[in-house]
Structures are given as structure tokens and as C-alpha cells.
């Protein structure tokens, strides 16, 4: 199978490259809105250290909500069970930034991948690291084995200027007693780790531990244990795509996490990690062409968890 990956990635890129006008980039900050939508990157990383890529797989993009996977991994390393007293792990069944559920459920977010949950996770990091946003950055540098990965501070600052909804969420959580740190500080940290920039190749490599029992293949370092890795994949499958999680589980069937920058990190357990990126978003905030690329990849490889 594996030696077909070069052909498959090339084929998918060729099938989609002239059809990238669907959806539109996130428009709430200028840095994301002004991107050239007609880009598509695909990168597959396998446990033996190989990378198979096509299209704009070397172009850095804003990882946005995909950073929630790495923030959760850091929190997981420090407090697995206690974490679930502060955030649940249920699909949200609502738009990704809704305050309604958060109010009814007394400040306990539905899962770590909606904004409210990621804010609580970031609060956990703020209480445990001197520079929590830098700890997230260090983790992805180590995972991707690329020390040049960095934040885009222009994106981070621009997001902070438009962070009133996240500030609303953070203050509401604080009012229920579920935030240890200052809401402004937590939201600032959150916006910063969302502003990390990585290429598809970086991201596919960074996600490989999730397809490999928690272990970075190149260094044999365990980031989290096998059992925690399975659980993290479960959360990605049930909660990784906002209100499209069920639909993508149905259409693709892999644990994945999307971001409004247009990136998607997907995992085939025990097999491979894949990152696709294309900036045009569908109406649910997920990359339109990225999802199509993953559907094709699933079809051509016939890999599924089900």
C-alpha cells in the first residue's frame, strides 16, 4: 500500500487544484482574510520517517484551532483524570463558539476542542507553565523536529483585537469559578498559541505520535502513553470538527482536528498522520477542499477505523 502514497497525493492534488474556489477564507481578521485561496497542500507522514506530499505542502499556514490538540496534549501530560472535572468530552451539538451551552452547563465546557474548552485547557497551562504559549510552541517544534516553527505575532495581535467573544466566554467561565487565572491573560495566551504557523509537512510530522501510540518515531520519545493517545484520538473523532464532527466521521472516519486557517490534521491509528490545507472554509468553518482531499485519500487508500 504504502508505496502508492506518492501517486495518491499527486493524484488528489491534480484532481482538486483547479477547483479551489469553493468556500471562502475566514474573514474576521485581515491576516486570514487576505490569503490566496487557490492553494492546497497535502502531506502524509508514516512511522518509518517517510513524508509524501503534494501541492503547497511547504507553505506555512495559521494552525488556529489545531493548536488545541497540542495544548490538550500538554495538559494531558500533567493532569489526566482531574482535567475532566473542568471540561467534558462530549460533542457540542452547536456552533463552535456558543455561550448557551456553557451557561446551562454552569461554566463546564462540553469538550476541549470548542473555544470554551480550549480556554479552560489554556488556563490549566497558564497555572503550570511560566510561558504557556511558549510551551505549546516548544512541543510542536519538538514533534515536527523543526526549530524554526514560530508564532505569527501579527495574527496573534489582530485576533486579540477581535477577541470579544472569547473574552465573553472566559469571563463567563470565571464567573462560574472554573478559571484560575485572569481572563484577559488566558485569552491572550490562547490567541498566541492559535497563531502558530506550520506547513502541511510540519503538521503531518507533528501529528505522527497520535498514529504511533503516543511516541515520536524518530526519537522514540513517548509524549503521552498509548492509552491516552487512544483517548485523544477518540476526542478528535467525536469533537474535532465543531458541528460537522458526525458528518466527517461518517464521510471520512478518521480522528481529525480542523482550524479556521484552513488546515486539517487527521490520524489513521497505527498507520499515518496526514495534514491537508486549503484556505476556503465551508459554512461550518472547516476547509472545503481539505475535506474533499481527505475523502479522496480515504477512498484511494481504503483505510478506515470502522
Q: Is there a catalytic annotation at residue 68? A: yes
Q: Which residues bind a copy of itself (CB under 8 A)?
A: 88-94, 98-101, 103-104, 110-111, 164-165, 167-172, 174-175, 183, 229-231, 233-235, 237-239, 243-247, 249-251, 253, 255, 269, 304-306
C-alpha cell at 90: 462530549
State the nearest-atom distance from the C-beta of 170 to a copy of itself, in Å.
8
Q: Is there a catalytic annotation at residue 300? A: no
Other CB atoms within 10 A of residue 93 CB: 11
Residue in 280, 281, 287 with CA at minimum distance from that of residue 266: 287
For a copy of itself, the closer of residues 41 and 285 by Cβ is 285
Q: How far is CA 280 from CA 9, 17, 22, 38, 213, in A?
A: 19, 13, 6, 8, 32
**Which ranges of the chain does DSSP label H, i.e. alpha helix?**
5-16, 30-33, 67-78, 80-83, 100-104, 115-128, 132-144, 153-161, 164-175, 183-194, 200-206, 226-239, 245-251, 288-301
Q: Are 252 and 291 in contact (CB under 8 A)?
A: yes
DSSP assignment, residue 1? -
State the nearest-atom distance from the C-beta of 256 to a copy of itself, in Å.
12
For a copy of itself, the closer of residues 25 and 91 by Cβ is 91
For a copy of itself, the closer of residues 41 and 109 by Cβ is 109
Instruction: Identify the bridge partners of residue 150 per DSSP, sorted by sequence position.
Output: 197
Q: Is there a catalytic annotation at residue 65? A: yes
Q: Is there a catalytic annotation at residue 296? A: no
State the nearest-atom distance from the C-beta of 237 to a copy of itself, in Å.
7
- Choosing from 136, 187, 260, 268, which is the catalytic residue? 260
**Which ranges of 84-114 does DSSP label H, i.e. alpha helix?**
100-104
State the nearest-atom distance from the C-beta of 22 to a copy of itself, in Å.
20
C-alpha cell at 212: 504511533
Characterize 119-155 residue by residue with b for buried, 16 or more Cβ atoms within 10 angstroms of its Cβ, and e for exposed.
Answer: bbbbbbbbeebeebbebbbbbbbbbbebeebebbeeb
State the nearest-atom distance from the C-beta of 117 to a copy of itself, in Å.
11
State the nearest-atom distance from the C-beta of 188 to a copy of itself, in Å.
14
For a copy of itself, the closer of residues 218 and 234 by Cβ is 234
Q: Is there a catalytic annotation at residue 222? A: no
For a copy of itself, the closer of residues 31 and 243 by Cβ is 243
3 state SS of 195: coil
- Choosing from 190, 209, 257, 296, which is the catalytic residue? 190
- Choosing from 242, 287, 288, 296, which is the catalytic residue? 242
For a copy of itself, the closer of residues 117 and 280 by Cβ is 117
Catalytic positions: 65, 68, 190, 242, 260
Amino acid at each position: 500500500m504504502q508505496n502508492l502514497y506518492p501517486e495518491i497525493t499527486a493524484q488528489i492534488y491534480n484532481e482538486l487544484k483547479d477547483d479551489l474556489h469553493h468556500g471562502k477564507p475566514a474573514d474576521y481578521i485581515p491576516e486570514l482574510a487576505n490569503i490566496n485561496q487557490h492553494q492546497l497542500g497535502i502531506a502524509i507522514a508514516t512511522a518509518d520517517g517517510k513524508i509524501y506530499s503534494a501541492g503547497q505542502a511547504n507553505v506555512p499556514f495559521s494552525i488556529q484551532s489545531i493548536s488545541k490538540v497540542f495544548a490538550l496534549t500538554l495538559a494531558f501530560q500533567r493532569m489526566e483524570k482531574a482535567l475532566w472535572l473542568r471540561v467534558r468530552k462530549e460533542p457540542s451539538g452547536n456552533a463552535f463558539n456558543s455561550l448557551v451551552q456553557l451557561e446551562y452547563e454552569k461554566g463546564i465546557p462540553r469538550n476541549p476542542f470548542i473555544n470554551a474548552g480550549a480556554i479552560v485547557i489554556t488556563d490549566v497551562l497558564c497555572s503550570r507553565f511560566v510561558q504557556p504559549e511558549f510551551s505549546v510552541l516548544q512541543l510542536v517544534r519538538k514533534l515536527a523536529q523543526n526549530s524554526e516553527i514560530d508564532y505569527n505575532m501579527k495574527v496573534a495581535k489582530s485576533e486579540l483585537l477581535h477577541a470579544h467573544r472569547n473574552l465573553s466566554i472566559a469571563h463567563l467561565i470565571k464567573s462560574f469559578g472554573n478559571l484560575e487565572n485572569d481572563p484577559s491573560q488566558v485569552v491572550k495566551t490562547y490567541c498566541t498559541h492559535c497563531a502558530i504557523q506550520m506547513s502541511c509537512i510540519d503538521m503531518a510530522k507533528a501529528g505522527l505520535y497520535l498514529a504511533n501510540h503516543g511516541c515520536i518515531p524518530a526519537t522514540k520519545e513517548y509524549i503521552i502513553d498509548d492509552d491516552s493517545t487512544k483517548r485523544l484520538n477518540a476526542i478528535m473523532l467525536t469533537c474535532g470538527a465543531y458541528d460537522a464532527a458526525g458528518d466527517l466521521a461518517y464521510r471520512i472516519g478518521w480522528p481529525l482536528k480542523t482550524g479556521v486557517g484552513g488546515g486539517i490534521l487527521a490520524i489513521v491509528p497505527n498507520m499515518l498522520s496526514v495534514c491537508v490545507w486549503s484556505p476556503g472554509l465551508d459554512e461550518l468553518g472547516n476547509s472545503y477542499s481539505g475535506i474533499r482531499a481527505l475523502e479522496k485519500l480515504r477512498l484511494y487508500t481504503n483505510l478506515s477505523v470502522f
